[in-house]
Amino acid sequence: MMNFSNFLLLSFSVVMTASCIGGRPPLYKDASAPVEKRVEDLLSRMTLEEKVGQMNQFVGLEHIRKNEASLSAEDLKNNTANAFYPGFTADSVAEWTRQGLVGSFLHVLTIEEANYLQSLAMQSRLGIPVIFGIDAIHGNANAPDNTVYPTNIGLASTFDTDLAYRIARETAAEMRAMNMHWTFNPNVEVARDPRWGRVGETYGEDPYLVSRMGVETVKGYQEDLSSDDVLACIKHFAGGSQPINGTNGSPTDLSERTLREVFFPPFEAGVQAGAMSLMTAHNELNGIPCHSNEWLMEDVARGEWGFKGFTVSDWMDIEHLYDLHAVAENLKEAFCQSIMAGMDMHMHGVYWNEYVCELVREGRIPESRIDESVRRILGVKFRLGLFEQPYADEETTMDVRLCDGHRKTALEAARKSVVLLKNDGVLPIDPQQCRRVLVTGINADDHNILGDWSADQKPENVVTVLEGLRAVSPETDFVFVDQGWNPRTMSRSQVDKAASVARNCDLNIVVAGEYMYRGRWTERTSGEDTDRSDIDLVGLQNELIRKVAASGKPTVLVLISGRPLGVEWAAEHLPALVNAWEPGMYGGQAVAEILYGKVNPSGKLAVTIPRSVGQVQMIYNHKPSQYFHPYSGTPSTPLYPFGFGLSYNKYEYSDMNMDKPDISAKDSVKVSVKVRNAGAMSGEEIVQLYIRDRFSSVTRPVKELKDFVRVPLEPGETKTVEFTVTPDKLEFLDRNLRPTVEPGEFIVMVGPSSSDDDLLKASFHVH
């Protein structure tokens, strides 16, 4: 019997052959022709309806069937994860696909459905393939049976740009093995509010670090944008990571200076790295919704930065111009506003095709404007090789997905992402002295360790913390007291049970944090659209920590979370604190290896951890006057600063030097420092370089990260680390928002974190 993949390939061959009967094949089907000529040839053959269809995306058929059976039309109003189309069925969408009126799908989670939908598109008049987009944020984790790496905030805590590139390459391979072509990542928003639920989806609070990680991720996904690659999407443009009340999609009000100095640089870097899709943000920006913001899409992205790809809306956000922001009187007007402001593709749904075609026929949208968008979309499809390879092989897909090499990278990334925040000597654990160990907490034995944007994965492909501990130290008696997965419904009797067991153990490990699993959308405490008015531990978790610690036995707190948590009591009273973020499929193994000293921790915080929500906004690169008047009664310092992270070694910094004390505005300065491993373990230190413009015509941050490097060091080894401070690292925007390097003193700081106490300092002058 012929399998479905072979049937699809044969069907595609028949369609291609039939199209050639009676003459030469159309130019757009000639793989040897230049992409630009193929695009123009195909565009000339398309009807208006087919063009507008290329600009529209739908959720997958199985997604529709599942949700139309469980959701009501009323449920859809505030749901940004699940959808169906009231009045239409999955069969309706299938027929539109067969007619060539659908350009893209999202929420297609299996190779079988992707191949089937592509077979429908191949039956259309022109045989234009659809492009499948998916939220492959940390691996293609949103679909089952794929490698799950740490989420972006954990990856950023590695400060390892080569690792970011490698993970993106591996993700691209697994996506193409599933017939997926487009990832809605990297999220290059600069996260400056820990209440916001999507912090874990970002690379943190620093524009330079976010830019570096984002660029390598774009390059890893796209490479040269051919049949082995996937399309990157830089998102969300712009400002949604500093909402006025901390909630996703709420208004953002930011000066143009702040936008250009903080929020724009990672997007511009992504464009320069070649990103070929860009997603606008849910929020309004200074009174203009981003989805109808011509200044953002056309003037800045295309005009200033030269963006060549296509712009896609976020989930139903064009509709929100009408039903939420109220800047359009109806859906048709909303579609008109967004397209004329620069939008190329609509995520997602019905009525788009009908209303946009009407707008063109009425003369409100020139057909030439539609052609611009379709050219961009078709160009990507040709470059990705979808016309030649519309299907993926179902028989070989698992040769790529979850392969040994990808699993190895996931474990390496998890190990490097874990941040040791406090250690008063209890770590690493000595199994000879700690023979009986309590393990408890909501995240001790749960797949929540995978993080947000993760589908259900098979148990054999996930290592929880409890499983990791038992594997790493099999001689230890680990006593597990289950607290359930939901922090809101924790049982006081189970908390008391853990406290009782703790008294008879040598060591206690509490694995606490947030709950991110998307399968229980309304019960989460962190992740997309799960924002909070505080940053405390939810439920009885603090009570659990205090009661277990009251046993008098050493207690270690491990946090699994996508956002910074204000665990001030634990930081003051417990001997050890570990922030593991959302470490992915091998997170439990990585945490256990670090707790037992099999791996030396090396992660550094990509965000500042405040003491409480009352300190928001708490960022390291603040302006000089931010703490001129300190808080009354509480410290003005963070719980843990940006860039901070401990090792089982002590790294000593010395002999900081610069090759010249004075330079011109076009010159560079070489900075060197010696770093010595004064400990007994081999390890890697993340050396960080910060700069401050001492006096300037506009106020500047007290320090800004301008470079970093991971340095491997053996016990007793000393290495000289060199940085080159180039003119672009001294540049800022003057009073007229023009880039400039002003003369004067620049302070250079090098050390293991952004804390002043950790930094060696020197200065040079620009003349």
Say whether 372 sits in a helix, a strand or coil.
helix
Q: Are 653 and 754 in contact (CB under 8 A)?
A: no
Domain at 651-766, CATH homologous superfamily: Immunoglobulins (2.60.40.10)
- According to the model, what pLDDT value does residue 24 have? 86
- Dig out the tokens for 678 from the structure: 């004064």
| Dihedral sign (CA 432, 684, 555, 468) | negative
Specify whether domain 4-399 bears CATH 3.20.20.300: yes
- Band the pLDDT of 10: cuts 50, 70, 90: very low
Q: What CATH architecture does domain 418-615 belong to? A: 3-Layer(aba) Sandwich (3.40)
161-205 residue pLDDT tens: 999 999 999 999 999 999 999 999 999 999 999 999 999 999 999
Q: Helices 61-68 and 90-98 meet at what angle, rounded to 10? A: 160
- Region of 376 (left: φ > 0; alpha: ψ -120 to 50; beta: rest) is alpha
When pLDDT is averaged across residues 692-710 and rounded to a whole number, the result is 97
- Contacts with 34 (C-beta within 8 Å, 6 or more apart), sequence order: none
Which has the closest alpha carbon to 306: 345, 278, 284? 278
- Angle of helix 161-176 versus helix 207-222 axis, rounded to 10: 40
The pLDDT assigned to 71 comes to 86
Which of 516, 512, 541, 538 has its CA nearest to residue 526? Answer: 516
Q: How does DSSP classify residue 256? A: H
Query: Residue 293: which of 236, 211, 364, 234 has the closest Cα?
Result: 236
Residues 226-255, mean pLDDT to the nearest whole number: 96
Percent of the chain with pLDDT over 70: 97
φ, ψ for residue 55, nearest 5 deg: -90, 5
Structure tokens at 594: 């670090």
**Could you list the active site residues?**
314, 523
> What pLDDT score does 76 carry?
84
Mean pLDDT of the region 689-697: 97
pLDDT band for position 22 (50/70/90)? low
| Range from 4-13, 157-166, 314-323, 383-392 carrying the lowest mean pLDDT | 4-13
Collapsing DSSP to helix, strand or coil, 718 comes out as: strand
Q: Give the pLDDT band of residue 80 (cuts 50, 70, 90).
A: confident
**Average pLDDT of 535-557?**
98
For the chain, the structural domain boundaries read 4-399, 418-615, 651-766
- Which residues, in sequence order, are CB contacts of 430 under 8 Å at separation 6+? none
Q: Smallest Cα–Cα separation from 410: which of 448, 444, 449?
A: 449
DSSP structure class, residue 600: -
The two tokens of residue 378 are 């078709």
Nearest one of 532, 520, 639, 516 to 577, comparing CA atoms: 639
Asked whether the whole model's pTM tops 0.85, one would answer yes
CA atoms within 13 A on the CB side of 130: 36
Is 418-615's fold the same as 651-766's?
A: no
pLDDT at 2: 34
Q: Is the peptide bond before 238 cis (omega within 30 degrees of 0)?
A: yes
